[in-house]
Amino acid sequence: MSLLEIENLRLEIGGTPILRDIDLSIAEGEVMGLVGESGSGKSMTALTIMRLLPDAARTSGRVTFDGIDILAAPEAAMNRLRGDDIGMVFQEPMTALNPVKTIGEQVAEGIRWHAGANRADAEQTARQILDRVGLPEAKFPLSRFPHELSGGQRQRVVIAIACALKPKLLIADEPTTALDVVLQKQILELLRDLVDEQKMGLLLISHDLAVVADMADRITIMRHGEVMEEGETARTLSAQVHPYTRQLALASMHVPDRKKHAPSADDAARPLLSVENVVRHYPGRRTSLFSRPEPFRAVDGVSFSIRASQSVALVGRSGCGKSTLARMILALDRPTQGAIRLNGAEVSAMSETELKPHRRDIQVVFQDPYGSFNPRHKVERLVAEPLHLLEKQPGPAERREMVAAALHEVGLQPRDMDKYPHEFSGGQRQRISIARAIITRPRLVVADEPVSALDVSIRAQVLDLFAELNGKLGVAYLFITHDLTVARAITDDVMVMHEGRIVESGKTIDVLDNPQSEAAKALVAAAPDLHRALQKRLAEQG
C-alpha cells in the first residue's frame, strides 16, 4: 500500500480553480519528483498534503496518508502529523526561520511537542540531528541565531527541523532554488542520504527537470493545475510520450542556433571594453568601537577585455562579486582602484556629464522581469528611456518609430507600446527589457542573470533572441550567470569568478568541459545536467 495516496484532488481558492483531479501516490522510501512551470499548482499540492492552505481554500477528493484521511482529519490530528510523520522543507531559507529564536529552540521545539521529551533530552536530539545535517555542535552551537548563518546553513536547519523525528514523508518544495549550484548539490545530496538512512518517502518539487531526473524514482509532470504525465523517471523523460513532457525536456536542453557576426578587422584588434586591475572595497563591519573596520574586498584585482560582438560569460557562485563588477562596468558604481575603459576612454574616472555620450554604447538587461520597469509608465516611454542619451533628441513621431522598430526586433508588436508592463507575461517583459537595451544601438549589453527568473520554455525563447541579436546587430554581451547551461548555450568565452577574483578564463567549451581551477571544477561538477542524469539512470537500470 502507498504511504501517500492522492485521488481526484480538486482545489479552489476563493472560487478560482487551482488544482483539477490530481492523482499522485508515493510508496514508503520512494522519491517522487513533482515538476512544472510557475502556476502549475505544485506548491499548492504540497500545502494541501500539509493542510496549510489559505483560509479561503476549498478541497474535494481524497488524500490518504498512512491510512489517515487528511482532508477530513481534525486540526488536532493534523498537528500530530505535521512535523512528526510529515516534514516539510521550503524554498526560501532566508525567511523560513524565526529571527528571534535560536536554532536550538527551533529544532528542539517540535521534538518536545511531539515526543513529550524534556528540555535536556530534546536538546540532545536537536544536537544530533543538527550534527547529522552538517552543522556540528563545535561550530554551530544551539544558541546560534538564524542571522548568524548563511543561506545554505539555514536550509540545513530547516531540514533538521523537518527530519528531527524521522518522518515517514518529507516534502521539499523547491528546496534549492534560492541557492547557488554548489550549495544546491550539497543540499540535494544531504536530502538523498537522509531519505536512504531513514527510509523516508520524499516528494521533491522542482521546476528543474535535471534536478528531478537526478533524484527521483518516479516523476509527475504538472501544468495549469493538472497532471500531464506520471511514471518512472528515466523512462518518462527519455520516451517523452506526452507532448508537454517533450516540450519541457527539449527546452531544458535547448541550445540556440548562433550565426556569428563577422567583426571587422579593426573591431577585432581593439578591445571594446577593458577592465584593468579593478578593485572594489566595501566598508566592513566594525568589530570594536575603536579599531577601524577591515574593508571587505568584493572585487579584488580583476582584469579582462571584451572585443566587439564577442559574447562573454561571467560565472561564479552567489556572493563572488560578479554583480558588483557588473555595476562598475555599467558605471553605476565606481572602482576603489583600477580603471574601466570603453572604446579606450576611461569611463570609471568620468563625471556623470562626461559619461553621457559613452552610456549609449553600453546598456543593461536585469534579472527580474517584474522589477525592471516603472509600473506607471507605458511601454513606449519605458523603451524610449535610453534615447535620452542621444545628442539629437528625436521628435515624438520619430521616437514612436524607433520604439516600434526596437519592439519588432525583439519579436513584439508595435501596438504593444501603448500598454503597461503589467499587461505582459514574464517572458514578454524580458523582451521589452531587451528592446530598451538595444534602442540606442549599444556596442555592449550587460545582462545580469537575464533568464534565471523565467520558466524553461520561455528561457529557451529568450536565449534564442539574445543569439539572434548578437548575429544581427553585432552587439557584444557580458552575461552574468550562475547557470552553466546558459553560459554554454550563448557565449564564446567564459570567466570564472571566485571570492572577488577571476580564477579561470578561456573558450566556454574548453573551460566547461575541462575546468582547471578548483572553483571552476566545483561549479561544473555541481551543475545539474539532464543528459548526464538520464544517462546515469539508464546505465544503472542496465
Partner 1 sequence: MTDAPLHLEQPGWRSTLRLAFANRSFMIGFVITALVAAMALVSYVWTPYDVTHLIVADRMKGLSAQHPFGTDHFGRDILSMIMVGARNSIAVAVVAVAVGMGIGVPLGCWAAARGGWVDETLMRFNDVVFAFPALLSAVMITAIFGPGAVNAIIAIGIFNIPVFARVARAGALSLWPREYVLAARAAGKGKTLITIEHILPNIASILLVQGTIQFALGILAEAGLSYLGLGAQPPMPSWGRMLFDAQTRMMVAPHLAIFPGLAIVITVLGLNLLGDGLRDVLDPRLRRQR
Partner 2 sequence: MIAFLSKRLGIGLVTLLVASAVVFFVLEILPGDPALLMLGMNATPEALASMREQMGLNDPVLVRYFSWIGGMLVGDFGRSFTYSSPVIDLIAERVVVSLPLAIISLILSTAIAIPVGIFAAARRGRMGDTVSMGVAQVGVAIPNFWFALLLVYVFAVWLRLLPSGGFPGWGAGVWPGLKALILPAIALALPQAAILARVTRSAMLEVLGEDYIRTARAKGMPRRYVLWRHALRNAMIPVLTIMGLQFAFLLAGTIIIENVFYLPGLGRLVFQAITQRDLIVVEGVIMLLVASVVVVNLVVDILYAVVDPRLRVSA
Does residue 492 interact with partner 2 by CB under 8 A? no
Q: Rule CB under 8 A: choose which of 36, 41, 110, 335 binds partner 2.
A: 110
Q: Contact at 8 Å (CB) between 330 and 496? A: no
372's contact among partner 2, partner 1, none, with CB below 5 to 8 A by partner kind, is: partner 1
Does residue 174 interact with partner 2 by CB under 8 A? no
What is the SS3 assignment for 64?
strand
Q: Which is nearer to partner 1, 6 or 135 (CB)?
A: 6
Q: Which whole-number Å values give the CA distances from 34 to 25, 45, 99, 209, 275, in the listed order?
A: 11, 10, 30, 9, 44
Q: Which is nearer to partner 2, 90 or 304 (CB)?
A: 90
Euclidean distance between CA atoms 361 and 127, whole angstroms: 56
Residue 1 CA, chain-centre distance (Å), reads 37
Which cell goes with 63? Answer: 488524500
- Shortest spacing between CB 316 and partner 1, in angstroms: 20
- Binding stretches for partner 1 (CB under 8 A): 37-44, 91, 174, 177, 207, 330-332, 352, 355-356, 359-360, 362-364, 366-368, 370-376, 382, 385-386, 388-389, 420, 422, 433, 436, 453, 455
Q: Contact at 8 Å (CB) between 51 and 69? A: no
Q: Rule CB under 8 A: choose which of 101, 408, 415, 532 binds partner 2.
A: 101
Q: Rule CB under 8 A: choose which of 119, 259, 260, 286 binds partner 2.
A: 286
Which cell goes with 508? Answer: 566556454
Does residue 58 interact with partner 2 by CB under 8 A? no
Q: Contact at 8 Å (CB) between 458 and 481? A: no
Q: Rule CB under 8 A: choose which of 83, 225, 271, 500 binds partner 2.
A: 83
Does residue 296 interact with partner 2 by CB under 8 A? no
Does residue 514 interact with partner 2 by CB under 8 A? no
Does residue 287 interact with partner 2 by CB under 8 A? yes
- Shortest spacing between CB 415 and partner 1, in angstroms: 17
Q: Rule CB under 8 A: choose which of 38, 60, 98, 238 binds partner 2.
A: 98
Q: Contact at 8 Å (CB) between 505 and 324? A: no
Euclidean distance between CA atoms 278 and 97, whole angstroms: 37
Give the gyration radius of the chain's Cα atoms.
26
Euclidean distance between CA atoms 397 and 419, whole angstroms: 17
Euclidean distance between CA atoms 314 and 307, whole angstroms: 15
- Shortest spacing between CB 327 and partner 1, in angstroms: 8
Does residue 66 interact with partner 2 by CB under 8 A? no
415's contact among partner 1, partner 2, none, with CB below 5 to 8 A by partner kind, is: none
Residue 77 CA, chain-centre distance (Å), reads 36
72 DSSP 8-state letter: G
Euclidean distance between CA atoms 36 and 251, whole angstroms: 13
200's contact among partner 1, partner 2, none, with CB below 5 to 8 A by partner kind, is: none
User: Are β-strands 362-365 and 271-282 bridged in parallel, bridged antiparallel, or unpaired?
Assistant: unpaired
> For binding to partner 2 (CB under 8 A), which residues are involved?
50, 52, 75-76, 79-84, 87-88, 90, 92, 95-101, 106, 109-110, 113-114, 145, 147, 158, 161-162, 285-289
